[in-house]
Structure 1
C-alpha cells in the first residue's frame, strides 16, 4: 500500500459531491485513501530538489488536506506552494497552484482572497481543460457566496471549453452543480449581479483616451489628463503610450500624466506582463515601464501566435514572445533571454511547450528550448494528444 504512487491514486479516484453544498464527500474508506495519498506526497516532498516539484507537491497536498477537512495545514501548504510557483514562473503550474489555494480559502470562508486568486488563475492562455477546471472551481466559490449568476456563468463556460473534448467527470460534476444552483435560485433568487473582473481584483478604472482638439484622457466624463497629445493609446498596467505634439516618437506616461519614457520609439505596442514591444528604425525589441531595454532592438518584428489561434501584441500571459528575424521565428522570455533561436519557419506558443515547424513538419520544444517532440509530425494538431498529459491539474 505505501509504495503506491499518490498522483496515480488521485487520478483514478472518483469524487462524490454533496448536491446541496457542491463539496466533496469522503467516507471512511476515502479518508483512509486520502491519508495514504498525503503520506506519499510528504515522502516525495522530502526528496524534492527543485521549486517546480515543491510547488506541485505542496499544492496537491493542500488539496488533499482540504478534502480531509484539515484546512489550517491546507492553507499553509497552499501559500508555500504559491511562493515556489511564482519563482518558477510557469503559467500552467502557477494557475493550478492558485486554483487549489483559492479552493482552500473558499472552504475557510475567505471569499475575497479566493475570488482574486481565481481571477488571476483564469488566463486565456491556458489549455482548455485547465481553464475549464478553474472555471468550475470558481463557480463553486460564487455558489458558496450566493452569487448564482456568476456561478452559472462559470459552470457554463467550463462546459463550453470542453464541448469538443468532453470530460465525463467534469460533465457530471458540473451538471450536479447547475442543479444545485437552480434549486438555490428557486428558494432565494439569483443574488447579486455579476461583478466585472476589475471589481474582483480591486483595480480602479483607468482613464480612457478622449479627443477635444487633441488627445487626452478622461474618467467619469471629465479630463484627468489634458488633451495635449497628437495620439494616445489606452492604459495597460497603469501606463499608456502617447505621441506628444511636435514629437515624432512615442512617449510613455502614468495615470496622472507623468512622463516615464521620453519620445523615443517609432512604433509601440501595449504593455503585457510588464513589457511592451517597441521599434526604432524598423528594429524591434521590448522595454519595461522604467524605459530599460529588456529585449534588444534587433528583430524584424513580434509574431506571438497562441495555440488557440489568437495572436497577442508582444508577450503572452506566460511571459514569452515569438520574434522574427530574416523570415525565421524564435522565442524570447520576459528576461530577454533568447530561448529558441530564430531558426524555424514558424513557432506557436502552447501552454506547456513551444510548437515549431520547418514548413513541412511539426515538433515541440520544452520551456528551455530543448527538444521535446521530434520535428516529424504532419500537423500542429497532431501534437496536442502528446502534450495534454503535461497539463498540471
Structure 2
C-alpha cells in the first residue's frame, strides 16, 4: 500500500509517500521502499525515531537526530553512534564522516580508518577519493595515502581514468598517475562524454579528445555535452545539433531547441513550436503556441487566436497527427 501519513521525521520520503514492504527483520521493524539520490529503489526504515532516515547502503542507514548523525541497521539498532555532524553512504566498506569541521573515513564497525584531518572528502571513485585541505585539492587511496598532491585550486572525481583539475584559473585533465594529459590552458572544461570534452577559451566553445587534441574547433558561443552521438550548439543566437566529427546534422536555425527524448525534440522559431526527429525532419509542424512535450505517445498542443485572448488545446500523436481537435480549454496527454 502507499502510505502518505508518514511523520516528517522520516526525512526524504515525506513528499512522495512510501511503499510498505512489511517487516523484514527479527524485531518486526517495518521497512519501506523509496528512491535514492541516483533514482534507484532502496530500502528505508519506517520509523519516526529520528529527524532524518536515509536509504540502506551495505546494510546500514544514515540517521540523524538533534543535528547528530550515525548509522542504524535493519533492526533499528544504532550500530555507529550519532556523534558526527555529517556522514555519507557506505561503499566498499568505507563511508566518509565529518566531526568538528574535519572529515575522514570509517568502516562498518565505526572504526576510523582514514583520519579526520581534511576539510572535506568525497566518495571513492575508481579507487581514489578527492580531498580538500586549506582550499587545495588532491587525492588519496583507500589506505589513506596521498597519491596525488593536495596542490590544485579545484578538481573533480575520477571518471574513466581522468580527473579535471584547475590551477591559476586554467583547466585541464590528469590521469591517475597525476600526469596532466590535457594541458591547463582552457578557461572552462566540462566532463568527458563519449570520448569528447567540452572546452572554452576566449569565450568560444568547442571539443577536445581525452588527449587534448582539438576535434571540433572552438567557435560556438553555446555548446552542450555529447549524448547519443549528438551535442546541441549555438551560434549567432540560433541553435542546432552536431555529431562527434563536428558535422552539422540539425541546422542552426532554431531560436530554442530542447533535449531529445525518445528520438524527438521540441523546437521553436519566431515564438512558434513544433517537434523534430534526430535527422532534423519536422514531425509536428512549427505552428503551435507552446512548447510540446510527449507523454506516453501523445502531446497537448496550443493555438492562440490572433488577439491572444482565446486558448484552444488539442492532442497530437508522435507522427504529428491531430488526434483530438484544438477546441478545448485544456487537454491532457494519454496513452
Report the TM-score when normalising by structure 2: 0.49
Higher helix share: 1
| Structure number with higher relative contact order (C-alpha < 8 Å, ≥ 6 residues apart) | 1
Larger radius of gyration: 2
